Amino acid sequence: MTEPAITPELVAKHNLTPEEYQHAVAILGRTPSYTELGIFSVMWSEHCSYKNTKPLLKTFPTKSPKILVGAGEENAGIIDIGDGIAIAFKIESHNHPSAVEPFQGATTGVGGIVRDIFTMGARPVCAVNSLRFGPITANGESDLSNSKAEIANNRRLFAGVVSGIAHYGNCFGIPTVAGEVYFDKTYQGNPLVNAFCLGVLRHEQITRGAARGVGNPVFYVGPATGRDGLAGAAFASQDLTEESSEQQRGAVQVGDPFMEKLVCEACLELLATGAVAGMQDMGAAGLTCSTCEMAARAGTGIEIELDKVPQRAAKMSSYELMLSESQERMLIVVHKGREEEVKRIFDKWDLPWAEIGIITDTGHMKVRHGGKLVVDIPAKKIADESPVYHREGVEPAYLKDVRAFRLDGIPDSQSPISDLLKLLAWPSIASKNWVYRQYDHQVRDGSVVLPGSDAAVIRIKTDSLPVMTADLAARVAGTPVPEKLIAMTVDCNGGYVYLDPYEGAKIAVAEACRNLACSGALPLGATDNLNMPSPLKPELFWQIKESVRGLAEGCQAFNAPVTGGNCSLYNQNPAGPIDPTPTISVVGLIEKLEHVTTQWFKDEGDAIILLGDAVDQADPIFGLGGSAYLQVVHGRKNGSPPRCDLEVAKTLHTTLIGLIQSGLVKSAHDCSEGGLAVALAESCISQLIARETPRLIGATVDLSRVAADVSPLHTNSGEDQSRLTNKAVRLDALLFGETQSRIVITCKALDAVKVVERAKLMGVPAVQIGKVGGDQLTVKTVAGEFAAPLTELYDAWWNSIARAMA
C-alpha cells in the first residue's frame, strides 16, 4: 500500500500544530512516515498526553501512607485497606464515542475501565457510572426551548448509553452499584459517559505496565485487530461537530464482554504463575500506546512484527494496525523461557494469542511490517516528552451577572407541595431506578447497600481476590482475610461549576465525602474525570483551572488523595461548550458492618435531627443560587452557588462518623439538590423492601424554630416581597435552598438530646426538627403548615423517568 506524502494539510488533519510537527521531526531527525505521523498524533493528543492539563494536575494531592501505586504511575491507582489487601480504582470517560454510537460507546467505556483494573493484577469487583444528557422532558431550566426532535434525540442517547452499560457489565459479571445522572441543555449533543471500576488484590499481586527484561518476548492476547476504533484517542481530543461525528464513526470501538471475561480470567491465572514481567491493555491508541508506554516506563526498547498480529480484515496497513482500538486486547511481556506456560493458559481459555515481539536495550519502539522497518521512534520521548502548554485563563464576562443576581422580582413559594412535587419529578432529582434496574447490581454477592442510597457499599470477600502464585499462597496459608467494607460514590453538579468553577468543584468533593459519611465511611482516596470544554479559549481554560483548584483543595481537606483519573476536553457541540463538569469519585472504608448506614427513615417514633445550619443567612440569596428550585420552578440557572466551607464540612463529617460509630444513628441523608424538603421526602420514600416494592414511612417536621423569621406564605405586593427578601429568610430558601454541610439523621427518641448535645460539643449546629411516623410528610413553618401523602410524593419521584422514556 502506497503511503500518502506528508504535507501541511495531512499534518493538520492529524490535529498536530506546525510547531508540534517540527518537534516530532526534531525527535526523529527526519520526516516521519505516515504511520509515525499517526503515532505522534494519538500519543500527543490531549487524551493520551494531557498536554494542556498536565501543569494543573500536578497541583492535586497525591500522597498518602496508604497509597501503593500513585497517580500517573500506572493504569490505575492502588490503596492499602489493611491486612495485606488493597483496592485499585479509576474513572474514565467515553463521551465523544457515546455521542456518535451510544450503545457501543458506553459498552467500550465500561470494557476499557475494567481492563485498566485487571491490568494492575486486581480482580474487578464493582462498577459505577456518572452520566449527563440533554433534557428528556419539557420541564425545568432551559428545557422549554427544546424541540420535540431534540428531546427525542436526548432520550435515544440516554437509552442507548444505559443499555450499553447494562449489556457490558451484566455479561461480564460485574455489579454496577452506584452512579448519578443529570439532565441539562448544556449536554445536548455532547453527553458525558464516565465509567468507574474498582478491583481488589493483595499487595504482592500488584502488576506493573513496564516492558522489563531485555530479551523477554512480547505476547499479544485477545481478539484479532480490525479497523474499528481507528484513531479514537485523537477523535476524543477535538471538538464534536455533526461533520466530525459522521466522519469518525469508525473511531467508535465495538465491545465483546464475553471475550473480556475470558481475557480477564486468563490474565489473572497467568499472573499467578509468575511468568509475567509486565502487562498493559491496548486501550486508547491501541498497540501504539501500550508499546510506547511500557517501554518508556522501563527505560527499555521494544520491537514488534505487525505480520504476526492477528488480523480480522484483509490487507490492513501498518497505520491501521498500530492505531486500531479494537477491544479486549492485552500486551504482555513474559519472562524468557516461560513461553509455554503462557501458550497453555491462553489455549485453555480458547483465546487468540501471538508472540509478536521482543524487549530490547535500544530505548526505541521499532515496528516492522512486510519485511520493512515502518516505525522507529524513541519511546520515552514520545511517551513522556509530549508538548506541554501553560495556558493563561481569563475570567468569563458572564460571571459578573451571576454574582450580581438577587432574588428581587422572583416570587417566594406560594404552593410548597406543588413545588416539591415538581422537584421530585425533575429527572435530575427523580429516582434513577429506570437506569439501575437494568443493571445487575448483586452479581458475586458482595453488594451490601444497593443503588438508591447516598453511597453504595460492597464487602470484599476472600473469593474476590485473584488467584495467588504458589509462593504467595504458601506464605498466607492459614491466615484468615477479614471481610472489608468499601463505600463509594460519584458526584458533580455541573451547574454549580458553571456559575462558580472554584466553589462548584469544592462542593463536588464535599458532597461525595458527605455521602460517604452518611454511609458510615471515612475517605481513602479519589479519582477524577475532568469533563471540560476546549482549553484553547482563555475563558474556558479559566473554568478548567479554577475547577482543578477547587478539587485539589477539597481532596486535601478530606484526606482523599487523587490516585488517578482522566481528562476529557473539547466537550462542546455547535451550540456551545458544556458546563465544566469535574466529576469526582471518592472511595471510603467502613470499619464494621454495624456502622453501615442508609438514607431512609427506619422506625415510627424516631427523632429527626438536622445537623448543620438550616439556612446560610450570610448568603444574600440564601443558598438558592444555581438551585434546582430556581431552575425547575422559575426557569433560571443563575446566581452564585452556595458557599462551601471545607473546615465546616469536615467537622460535620467527623461528627457524624463519631455518632454512627457510637451506635446512635439509624439513618443519615445529605441535603443537596432540592434542599431540605427533598431530603426529607427522599428519606420517607426511598427504601425498597423488595426489588420495586416501596416501604413508605412518613414524618412530621417543625421548622418554625430553625428559621423563625421566615417570610409569610403570601405577600400583598411586589414591594412587600422585596422588603421581606432583604430582611427575612424566604420560605423557598428554607425548604428548597441548597445551603451546604447539612445532613438529616434519625435516632431513637430517647437518644435525641444526647445526639444534639454531642454534635454541638463538636461545633456542629444541631436541632431536633421532628419525628418519624404516619403516611404523609407534614412540614410546619411560621408561614404555615403543609402536608403531602407519601403515595403522591413517591409516584412523582419513582416514575418520572420511566414516564418520560415510555
Residues with catalytic function: 47, 94
Which H or E run contains 447? strand 447-449
Cα 735-436-673 angle, rounded to 5 deg:
15
* 320: Cα separation from own chain's centroid: 31
* 665: Cα separation from own chain's centroid: 29
8 Å CB contact between 676 and 614: yes
Query: What are the residues whose beta carbons fall under 8 Å from the beta carbon of 66, sequence distance 6 or more?
Result: 79, 80, 81, 524, 525
> What crossing angle do the helices spanning 538-557 and 501-519 adopt, rounded to 10°?
30
Separation of alpha carbons 725 and 738, rounded Å:
17
Query: What are the residues whose beta carbons fall under 8 Å from the beta carbon of 158, sequence distance 6 or more?
Result: 102, 131, 133, 136, 191, 805
Is residue 727 classed as helix, strand or coil in its secondary structure?
helix
8 Å CB contact between 128 and 179: yes
State the virtual CA torsion across 343, 296, 387, 9 in degrees, nearest 10: -40
Separation of alpha carbons 384 and 397, rounded Å:
36
Residue in 659, 660, 654 with CA at minimum distance from that of residue 757: 659
H helices of 738-780, where?
Answer: 752-761
Is residue 135 classed as helix, strand or coil in its secondary structure?
coil
- Helices and strands per DSSP (H, E), number in the chain: 29, 30
Cell digits for 205? 499481586
8 Å CB contact between 189 and 457: no
Separation of alpha carbons 459 and 675, rounded Å:
31
Task: Tell me the HSE value of 59 on the side-chain side, using a 13 A CA sphere.
Answer: 14
